[in-house]
Amino acid sequence: MTIQCQADIQVSLMFWYQQVPGQSLVLIATANQGSEATYESGFSKDKFLISRPNLTFSTLTVINILPEDSSFYYCCAGDTVLGTDQSTEQELPPT
């Protein structure tokens, strides 16, 4: 089974999620154009093959589909830019 995802604009990242009925969304993988998808724990390209040929398109192929693969599958697209200061420390003002 292959699902296609088309974004209206060019985006850096596309995310694929699985939702088993009655449960929360679970991230399968993050797809960055031009490189291999980054899979979350419990998911692999052997079962969930993700392609990202350009900045507006991605596909998810579920290989050797089984009854337990029955789920909702979602694609989300977006740009995530990390700032240069990733510190979690906070300085308190003088008292």
37 lies in some domain: yes
How far apart are alpha carbons 12 and 78 in whole angstroms? 6
70 lies in some domain: yes
Burial class (CB in 10 A: 0-12, 13-18, 19+), 5: buried
62 lies in some domain: yes
90 lies in some domain: no
What domain count does the chain have?
Answer: 1
CATH label of the domain that carries residue 10: 2.60.40.10
The answer to whether 7 and 77 have CB atoms below 8 angstroms apart is yes
Domain extent, residue 21, equals 2-78
84 lies in some domain: no
For the segment 25-81, what is each residue's pLDDT rounded down to a tens digit? 999 999 988 788 999 999 999 999 999 999 999 999 999 999 999 999 999 988 765
22 lies in some domain: yes
Name the token pair of 36. Answer: 């291999």
pLDDT at 91 over 80: no
